Every structure is written in structure tokens, then in C-alpha cells.
Amino acid sequence: MTALRVLADDLTGALDTAACFVGAEGPVPTVWKPPVALPWPAAVDAGTRGMSEEGARAVMARLCAVLEGAEPAFRKIDSLLRGYVAAELAACLRWFDHCVIAPAFPAQGRVTAGGRQFRAEAGAWRDVGVDLPAALADWGIGVRLCRPGEPAPPGVSLWDAETDAELDAVVAEARVLPGRVLWCGTAGLATALAGRAAVQEPDLPGPVLALIGSDHPVSVAQLSTAWKQVHRITSGGADEAAPIARRLMQGHAHGQVPGGHAAVAVVVPPGASRAAAAEHIAGSFGRLLAGLDRPGTLMVSGGETLRAVCDALGGTMLEVDGALAPGVPASLMRGGRWHGLRVVSKSGAFGESTWLARLLAPRREGDR
């Protein structure tokens, strides 16, 4: 494994996939505004999740060049198949002889069966409602449905998998394909492709400031469980920043203090469109951060939010160097006002309802 490149449709996805390769590759620089000279290894966020299908395909067609010559070349897709998976994949295939699609992520309750994607919900498996083979066919792409243990066919294949062991089997079969292979999946496939190399769980300096920009039901449940430490803001002005700053100052002063960590969510105006909501959240967090001192650790939930937060702080790169759990990468911010800051990130759809409360539980410096 000598020249990893990851291309994702959002920043949290780029980071959680990059984290899978840290044990094999070392730290992986992850960018959202690719420089002319992109390093090896590297992960790139195309930022297409919230675009129109036409716009997303155009951006992906331009950025797919970053995968040329990569080994492995990894196209990260959403584990719930959100976004424009088929259209974006169609834009990339001209660079490759084969494409191995395996979107299962068992560690986060996502499996693939019969070419359909399912998520664990309330003790049952729910179809995510996307017919990926049909969507690919609409773009003129024929796909073979495969099971672990079967020989990997040439061309485009979509693999069932319900366990990590089955993802390992997919990788073992597909590695023998001749020519250029595009690996397409989630952190589940990435972990298998990296040989399950151990990834370090870094220390999280306190205090922790958590910014929750996702309205996914999972994130809503996590905020509800951690309600004692949640601040809800409407604009991020000085009056809203002051109590958050006081709470974080307690964490700086004492190392372990109930309430020394803080979570923040933005109240979106009723009836706002998704684009307007995203703009309001980004602006509110930007104003809030301008009025806060640097925390020990910054946690951000939601890919669009993370990108906006990094831009607000002047960060130009996140260097992935570990993970707290599958789907929860850790990185260091490079550039900007908080250069070197420890950052934890995750998709708004990931984690148990108690995840945020456990992250914000009182801890001493050096505790994990």
C-alpha cells in the first residue's frame, strides 16, 4: 500500500475513511480545497452531498483525477446511500477497469443483502430505500451482484456483506483483479482493505467543545441524552457565547469538573429550507467561535458543519492520526487560528444515543 487516495462526498466521510488507513499509512492529510500538489497519502472532500445531481456529478468528474495512480483508490460513499452515489460513480469509472462496491458498515449497523442496503433501527433491519443497481443502470452501468466467497467478476460488482469477516472476504477476492480497481464503500470496506491495522485512540485534552450541526434523529437523541451540558443558540452572538465560555473555563481551570465540557446546537428558524438552515448553522457557529478561547478538544457532528467550522477558523487541513471508534476519527487541525487543535468528528447518523453524554462526561487530562 504505497499511494492511498480517498475521495468522499462530505468531510466527515473523508475523515472516517482516512482513519482506517492510519495504522498502515501513518497520518492521512484530509482537505476540502485540494492544493495543486496533493500529498500522498491524502483524502479529499468533494463537498457534493448538498448539491444538485448535475452539480455533484460535475464536481466529482473534475476531482476524480486525484484518484489517478492511487493504490488503493477509494471512493467513499454514504452508508445510507445518501447523495448521488450512482451519478458520481458514473463520473469516476472512466479512470478504472473495475469497480468493487461494498457499502456495508457492520460496526455502525449497516449491512448489504441482495444488493439492498439496510440499517439497524429499533431492533430491526430497515431498507434505506435506494435501489443502487437500478440507479447505476440509469447511467448505463451494468453491475453484477456478488456474495462473499465468490470470485470477483470483471467490471462493476456490488457485494453483499453483513459482517467484518465478509468484508475481508470481498477484499481477498477482489485484490486479484488485473488492472486499475476503484474500491467504493464506507469505513467498513476501508478497514478491511487496510488489513485491519490497529489505529491509535488519542488522548482528548479538556475541555471538550462539541458542535452539533446535524438534525439527523441520531444526533437529536444524543443531544437529548446529554441535555445538562447542551447550550442551544440562535445566532452565536456575545450574549450566547458568554455562558459557554464560562463553562469551558471551568474545564480549563480544574481538569475534572461537572459541566466543564459543553455541547452546542443551533436553533434553526421555522420553515427554513435545508440550504438556508445549513447557512444559518454555519454563520451561528462562526460567530460563536469568534467569541470563544481555544478549547482542549473540538468535536463536530455533521460534514457540512465541520467544513464550515474549519473555514471559520482558517484551517486548511485536518491530519487524521487516530480514531475513538469505527466512524469516529481523530485529527489535528492544520493552519488557522487554532492550529494544532485536537478534533473529533463523526457523521450525524453515527453512534448510540448515549455517545455524546459519554464524550462530555467529566475526565482528567489524559483520560480517554
Q: What is the mean pLDDT of residues 143-163?
A: 98
Q: What is the mean pLDDT of residues 304-320?
A: 97
Give 3-state DSSP helix, strand, coil % of the chain, rounded to 5.
35, 25, 40
In this predicted model, what pLDDT tens digit does every residue of 15-58 receive, in sequence order? 999 999 999 999 999 999 988 788 889 999 999 998 999 999 99
pLDDT band at 348 (very low <50, low <70, confident <90, very high): confident
The residues, ordered by sequence, that sit 6+ positions from 285 with a Cβ below 8 Å of its Cβ are 211, 213, 236, 264, 266, 305, 308, 309, 312
Can you tell me whether residue 288 is helix, strand or coil? helix
What's the confidence (pLDDT) of residue 36?
77
What's the confidence (pLDDT) of residue 1?
43
Distances (CA, A) of 140 to 89, 137, 146, 154: 11, 5, 19, 16
> Which CATH code is given to the segment(s) 208-359?
3.40.980.20
Can you tell me whether residue 164 is helix, strand or coil? helix
Looking at the whole model, is its pTM more than 0.85?
A: yes
Q: Which residue spans of the chain are classified as CATH 3.40.980.20?
A: 208-359
Q: Is residue 2 scored above 80 in pLDDT?
A: no
Is beta strand 328-334 parallel, antiparallel or unpaired with respect to 342-346? antiparallel
In this predicted model, what pLDDT tens digit does every residue of 71-82 receive, in sequence order? 999 999 999 999
For residues 352 and 48, is the Cβ–Cβ distance under 8 A?
no
Q: What is the mean pLDDT of residues 276-287?
A: 96
Q: Please give the share of the chain, as a percent, with pLDDT higher than 70.
A: 95
For residues 162 and 112, is the Cβ–Cβ distance under 8 A?
yes
pLDDT band at 336 (very low <50, low <70, confident <90, very high): very high
- Cα distance between residue 158 and residue 177, in whole Å: 15
Q: What is the mean pLDDT of residues 304-310?
A: 95
- Cα distance between residue 165 and residue 176, in whole Å: 18
Q: Is residue 9 scored above 80 in pLDDT?
A: yes
- Cα distance between residue 166 and residue 274, in whole Å: 37
What's the confidence (pLDDT) of residue 153?
98
pLDDT band at 252 (very low <50, low <70, confident <90, very high): low
Q: What is the mean pLDDT of residues 228-257?
A: 85
pLDDT band at 251 (very low <50, low <70, confident <90, very high): low
Q: Which residue spans of the chain are classified as CATH 3.40.50.10840?
A: 5-193
Q: What is the mean pLDDT of residues 309-328?
A: 96
pLDDT band at 367 (very low <50, low <70, confident <90, very high): low
Q: What is the mean pLDDT of residues 197-212?
A: 94
User: Based on C-alpha coordinates, what's the Rg of the chain?
Assistant: 20
Instruction: Give me the half-sphere count of Cα atoms (radius 13 Å) on the Cβ side of residue 282.
Output: 17
Q: What is the mean pLDDT of residues 345-364?
A: 86
Q: Residue 10: which of 65, 48, 55 has the closest Cα?
A: 48
Can you tell me whether residue 24 is helix, strand or coil? helix
The residues, ordered by sequence, that sit 6+ positions from 198 with a Cβ below 8 Å of its Cβ are 23
Q: Is residue 88 scored above 90 in pLDDT?
A: yes
What's the confidence (pLDDT) of residue 253?
58
- Cα distance between residue 309 and residue 293, in whole Å: 14
Is beta strand 42-45 parallel, antiparallel or unpaired with respect to 5-8? parallel
- Cα distance between residue 343 and residue 296, in whole Å: 9
Q: Is residue 257 scored above 50 in pLDDT?
A: no
Instruction: Specify the CATH number for 5-193; select among 3.30.70.270, 3.40.710.10, 3.40.50.10840, 3.40.50.10320.
Output: 3.40.50.10840
* The CA-based dihedral angle spanning residues 189, 307, 214, 299, taken in that order and rounded to the nearest 10 degrees: 80
199: left (phi over 0), alpha (psi -120 to 50) or beta: beta
